[in-house]
Amino acid sequence: MRISLLITFFILPTIYSLKAQNETDALKYSQNNIFGNARFIGMSGSFGALGGEFSSLSQNPAGIGMYQNNEISFTPNFSLNNTKSYYGANHIESDKMTSNISSLGIVFSTKKESDWKRINLALGWNKLASYEQDIRIEGINKNSSIADKLLEIAQGKTIDELDDFFSYPAFATDVIDLTNNTTDSSNQYLFDNGNYISHVNSNASKLQRSRFLSSGSKNEFILSFGGSYKENIYLGATIGFPRIENYQRTYYSEDMLEDTINGLQAFDFGDELSVYGDGINIKAGAILRLAKNVKLGINLHTPTIFNIEETYSTSMTTYFNQEGAYSYNSVYGYNSYQLITPWKAAISGSTIINNFILINLDYELIDYSFSKMNSEIYDFRYENEQIKEKYQQTNNVRIGTELNINPFILRAGASIYASPYKEIDQNIQNYTFGLGVDNGRYFFDIGYILTQGNSKYQLYSEDYINPIPIAITNHNLVMTAGFRY
């Protein structure tokens, strides 16, 4: 099954990515994937008019009104992420296996002797997005070097003006140098005038290698409450506390260098980024029973307000014929900022056919141009303008179905997420499958997602090298065990 997939957090920005947050971060942390428990995943996250499912409380909290018993559920997740890079004639494949918890929840149901049949409360957490990835790239380049970008960053600046993370490490390890590096008796440069040269010949053959490792996820702790009015109207609200954890490390090297100045043979460059963010949002929803087997669902999500903190550093090592090796490790940088994600609204419909086939359809609206970044120490005016310029309102469609074939329940689903970009048509399409057994007291479900698609990885700058094509295949298997009491 071929799936066109946009994974914005794998489309890496230029070499400046560690120094400033940008519109890419706003989009990355605003998007969710299909995660949760196995029944929810098996129906491709299409649950807006169904309810009675813990993961749906992060979507339409009115579903809490469907619960008639106390319930506990636990869902582990097993993932295999495969990437294949295409750099010239070299095709490098890598795999990353991970396991974690996709959902954990408990629901308390209280019956009432009134028109309000139940008042229910739920708490727990759901996984919303995954940042797991391992990308390896290797190829021969005869046209450019990362040294070209480092030289560009340094040009026109005195040594004291070089930045701590890119240009100064390149200067300190002699990848770049002053055009005239004559010094006086106190070892001070006499011609510190911002004119630099590179010790790498851009047009000579060189072997470039890169490995990008990313881990982490976005998870949401939820507190939901709601109830059922005459079994015809179900209302609910969720207070969500999402948390972002994302760790990235990049290893980059060039060796087999030809025709370099001063006998430079090879060099390594690395960067490290840790991102932590805590947020809060409110979700409200309703499910209306229009007929015995027909229901309509609506829900609205407020923007999530994230407070995000980042730490980052870089390192560089060079290897020379005669002089040995030079190394430089940057200081640790720190950034903090606030991210406001878009509003989200959805309408859903569900029906049961012959007490045998259940179908649910969700239609969701989200405007990614609404996102905004703020900070007390930095003016995000340019980044916020780019958000409005590049992103647009999108509509997402999810459909899921269940077939009750006693004693088993078969599930399948599909979803289409429209491109968040105004000028790039990059849709997300997912297909999911599931199987369950439910005896009323205990239930066990399995859900599976296969995702295939393409992305691009920027080695250092589009000014010097085209992005490297990446083929991505993700397998996710989840299993939910739960009981009611």
pLDDT at 192: 85
Residue 296: exposure state from Cβ atoms within 10 A (0-12, 13-18, ≥19): middle
Asked whether the predicted pLDDT for residue 80 surpasses 60, the reply is yes
pLDDT in tens, 160-203: 999 999 999 999 999 999 988 777 667 777 788 899 999 999 88
Residue 405: exposure state from Cβ atoms within 10 A (0-12, 13-18, ≥19): exposed
- Mean of the pLDDT values across residues 251-276? 89
- Cβ neighbours for 229, distance < 8 A, ≥ 6 positions apart: 115, 116, 117, 235
**Cβ(132)–Cβ(226) under 8 Å?**
no
pLDDT in tens, 201-239: 988 899 999 999 999 999 999 999 999 999 999 999 999
Side-chain-side CA neighbours of residue 254 (13 Å): 27
* Residue type present at position 369: S
Asked whether the predicted pLDDT for residue 132 surpasses 60, the reply is yes
pLDDT at 21: 67
Distance, CA of 470 to CA of 476 (rounded, Å): 19
pLDDT at 112: 86
pLDDT at 164: 93
pLDDT at 440: 86
Question: Beta strand pairing status for 357-367 and 372-374?
Answer: unpaired
- The band of 113, judged by pLDDT with boundaries at 50, 70 and 90, is confident
pLDDT at 278: 98
* pTM score, whole prediction: 0.87
- Mean of the pLDDT values across residues 277-282? 98
Average pLDDT in the chain:
90
Distance, CA of 346 to CA of 365 (rounded, Å): 6
- Mean of the pLDDT values across residues 266-293? 96
Asked whether the predicted pLDDT for residue 99 surpasses 90, the reply is yes
- Mean of the pLDDT values across residues 394-409? 93
Distance, CA of 59 to CA of 285 (rounded, Å): 9
Asked whether the predicted pLDDT for residue 1 surpasses 80, the reply is no
Beta-ladder partners of 353:
357
pLDDT in tens, 350-373: 999 988 899 999 999 999 999 999
pLDDT in tens, 406-448: 889 999 999 988 888 888 777 778 899 999 999 989 999 999 9
pLDDT at 188: 74
Percent of the chain residues past pLDDT 70, beyond the cut: 95
Q: Which residue has the higher pLDDT, 14 or 79?
A: 79
**Cβ(125)–Cβ(105) under 8 Å?**
yes
Residue for token pair 């903090």:
336
Asked whether the predicted pLDDT for residue 82 surpasses 60, the reply is yes
pLDDT at 180: 83
Asked whether the predicted pLDDT for residue 287 surpasses 90, the reply is yes
pLDDT at 20: 53
Phi, psi of 288 (to 5 degrees): -115, 130
Percent of the chain residues past pLDDT 90, beyond the cut: 74
Beta-ladder partners of 275:
246, 310
Q: Name the token pair of 314.
A: 């870089």
Asked whether the predicted pLDDT for residue 256 surpasses 60, the reply is yes
Taking residue 306's Cβ as centre, other Cβ atoms within 10 Å add up to: 23
Q: Which residue has the higher pLDDT, 33 or 452?
A: 33
